[in-house]
């Protein structure tokens, strides 16, 4: 498992004024979320995020890209097995990312034109889903929700 060297992060932090510095001082302490993906081929998956998924990014040094993500929501599900990451001796929650869309079939067609073969669509009461294979051999979830979302809610 590769980690970003602390010195690179410190240099990036010290040289760039954070975007959240202009937020309203009366807003909540939490201003965003940072998702960590652990990949066996990080360079290939970064290229996929940039070139295939079209996500914008900033380079915080040495080609280390941090991608802008669409609005997000979070849900806590029970775990069937151990599914965690360790940081500073503490277990962090495990996570799975599902990108959301309004028209799953249309998104699959767009990806197909970019030579990406998604898995078969799975139907469930909460929505329809597929997975997007990554160059590293891992995958991202993609789904069209049928449930109410929390995307337009504001945290306090």
What's the structural domain count of the chain?
Answer: 1
The CATH number given to whatever domain includes residue 110 is 3.10.180.10
- Tens of pLDDT along 41-74? 999 999 999 999 999 999 998 888 999 999 998 8
Distance from C-alpha of 49 to C-alpha of 56, rounded to nearest angstrom: 9
- 91: which 2 tokens? 């277990």
Specify if 153 maps to a domain: no
- Which regions in the chain score pLDDT beneath 70? 1-28, 154-156
Report pLDDT for 12: 38
User: pTM score > 0.85 for this model?
Assistant: no
- pLDDT at position 156 is 53
Q: Alpha-carbon torsion 107, 111, 112, 114, what sign?
A: positive
Q: Could you tell me what percent of the chain has a pLDDT over 70?
A: 80
Contacts by residues 55-63 (CB-CB < 8 Å, ≥ 24 positions apart)? 58/16, 60/8, 60/9, 60/12, 60/16, 61/8, 61/11, 61/12, 62/8
In a domain, 96, yes or no: yes
Residue 92 pairs with which residues in a beta bridge?
Answer: 85
| Per-residue model confidence (pLDDT) at position 82 | 78
Structural domain range at position 61: 6-145
Quote the pLDDT of residue 133. Answer: 97
| Residue 52, in any domain of the structure | yes
What pLDDT shows up at residue 155? 59
């Amino acid at each position: 498992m590769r980690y970003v060297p602390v010195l690179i992060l410190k240099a990036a932090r010290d040289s760039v004024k954070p975007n959240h510095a202009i937020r309203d001082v009366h807003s909540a302490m939490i201003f965003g979320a940072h998702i960590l993906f652990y990949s066996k081929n990080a360079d290939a998956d970064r290229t996929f995020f940039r070139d295939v998924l079209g996500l914008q990014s900033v380079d915080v040094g040495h080609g280390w890209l941090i991608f802008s993500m669409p609005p997000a929501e979070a849900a806590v599900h029970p775990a069937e097995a151990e599914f965690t990451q360790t940081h500073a001796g503490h277990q962090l929650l495990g996570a799975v990312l599902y990108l959301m869309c309004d028209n799953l079939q249309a998104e699959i067609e767009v990806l197909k034109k970019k030579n990406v073969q998604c898995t078969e669509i799975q139907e469930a009461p909460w929505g329809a889903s597929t997975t997007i294979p990554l160059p590293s051999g891992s995958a991202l979830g993609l789904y069209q929700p049928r449930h109410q979302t929390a995307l337009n809610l504001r945290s306090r």
